[in-house]
Structure 1
Amino acid sequence: MRLEDFDFELPEGLIALRPARPRDAARMLVVEPGVGLRDRIVRDLPGLLRPGDVLVFNDTRVISAQLSGTRHRDGAPSVAVGMTLAERVDDATWMAFARPGRRLAPGDVVRIGHDSNLCMLGTLEARVEAKEPDGRVRLLFSLSGAALDEAVALVGAPPLPPYIAARRTADEADRTDYQTVYARREGAVAAPTAGLHFTPGLFAALADKGIATEYVTLHVGPGTFLPVKIEDVSGHRMHAEVGEISADAAGRLNAARAAGGRIVAIGTTSLRLLESAAGDDGLVRPFTGATDIFITPGHRFRAVDLLMTNFHLPKSTLFMLVAAFSGLETMRAAYAHAVERGYRFYSYGDACLLFPEGPR
Structure 2
Amino acid sequence: MSAFPDPRQLSIHDFTYHLPPERIAPEPLPDRDQSRLLVYRGGGITDQPFRHLPAALPADALLVFNDTKVVRARLFCHKPTGGIIELFCLEPVAPHRAIEPAMQQTGSCVWKCLVGNGKRWKSGPLHLEFQVLGQPATLTAERQAAADGYSLIAFRWEPAQLPFAEVLRGAGHLPLPPYLNRTDTAADAVRYQTVYAAHEGAVAAPTAGLHFSDAVLAELTERGITTARVTLHVGAGTFQPVKADHMAGHAMHGEPFVVTAAVVRQLLAQAPRPVLAVGTTSLRTLESLYWLGARLAHQPEAAAEGLHVGQWQPYEAAAEVPLAAALQAVLDHLAATDAEALHATTQLLIAPGYRFRVVQGLITNFHQPESTLLLLVAALIGPDWRRVYDHALAGGYRFLSYGDSSLLLP
Alignment TM-score > 0.5, same fold: yes
How far did 1:160 drift?
Answer: 0.2
SS in 1 for 2:219: helix
Trace 1:24-35 onto structure 2 (pairs within 5 A). Answer: 24-33=33-42, 35=43
How far did 1:301 drift?
Answer: 0.8
> Which structure 2 residue ranges, 5 or more long, are not aligned?
1-9, 97-104, 295-320, 332-341
Deviation track 1:280-314 (CA, whole Å, cap 9, x = no partner) reads 42244463111111111111111101100000011
SS in 1 for 2:227: strand
State the AA in 2 paired with 1:127. E
Change (3 A) 1:71 1:55: same
Tell me what 1:100 maps to: 117
SS in 1 for 2:83: strand
Change (3 A) 1:209 1:141: same
SS in 2 for 1:142: strand
How far did 1:118 drift?
Answer: 9.3
For 2:90, which of 86, 107, 113 is the aligned residue?
Answer: 86
Determine if contact 1:104/1:128 at 8 Å carries over to the other structure.
no
How far did 1:263 drift?
Answer: 0.5
Matched, 1:271 2:283: yes
Trace 1:126-275 onto structure 2 (pairs within 5 A). Answer: 126-133=141-148, 135-143=149-157, 146-164=162-180, 166=181, 168-257=182-271, 260-275=272-287
State the distance in 2 between where 1:234 and 1:7 align: 18
State the distance in 2 between where 1:261 and 1:295 align: 22
State the distance in 2 between where 1:67 and 1:99 align: 10
State the distance in 2 between where 1:298 and 1:71 align: 50
State the distance in 2 between where 1:40 and 1:222 align: 32
Matched, 1:124 2:139: yes
> Which structure 1 residue ranges, 5 or more long, are not aligned?
none
How far did 1:62 drift?
Answer: 0.7
Tell me what 1:333 maps to: 387
How far did 1:6 drift?
Answer: 1.1
Tell me what 1:39 maps to: 47
State the distance in 2 between where 1:58 and 1:253 align: 15
SS in 2 for 1:123: strand
Between 1:192-201 and 1:88-97, the stretch displaced more is: 88-97
For 2:399, which of 345, 351, 354 is the aligned residue?
Answer: 345
State the distance in 1 between where 2:152 and 2:133 align: 23
State the distance in 2 between where 1:299 and 1:116 align: 49
Determine if contact 1:237/1:294 at 8 Å carries over to the other structure.
no
State the distance in 2 between where 1:99 and 1:316 align: 24
Structure 1 vs Structure 2: percent identity of aligned residues?
41
For 2:363, which of 298, 303, 308 is the aligned residue?
Answer: 308
State the distance in 2 between where 1:340 and 1:109 align: 52
Tell me what 1:20 maps to: 29
Determine if contact 2:131/2:170 at 8 Å carries over to the other structure.
no
Determine if contact 1:64/1:156 at 8 Å carries over to the other structure.
yes
Between 1:307-316 and 1:18-27, the stretch displaced more is: 18-27
**In the comparison of the two structures, how many residue pairs are matched?**
343
List structure 1 segments (4+ residues) > 4 angstroms apart after TM superposition: 115-119
Matched, 1:67 2:67: no
Change (3 A) 1:216 1:346: same
Determine if contact 1:53/1:263 at 8 Å carries over to the other structure.
yes
How far did 1:121 drift?
Answer: 5.2
Change (3 A) 1:108 1:339: farther
Deviation track 1:95-147 (CA, whole Å, cap 9, x = no partner) reads 11111344446x542223x36779835321111111121x1111110136743
Between 1:190-199 and 1:12-21, the stretch displaced more is: 12-21
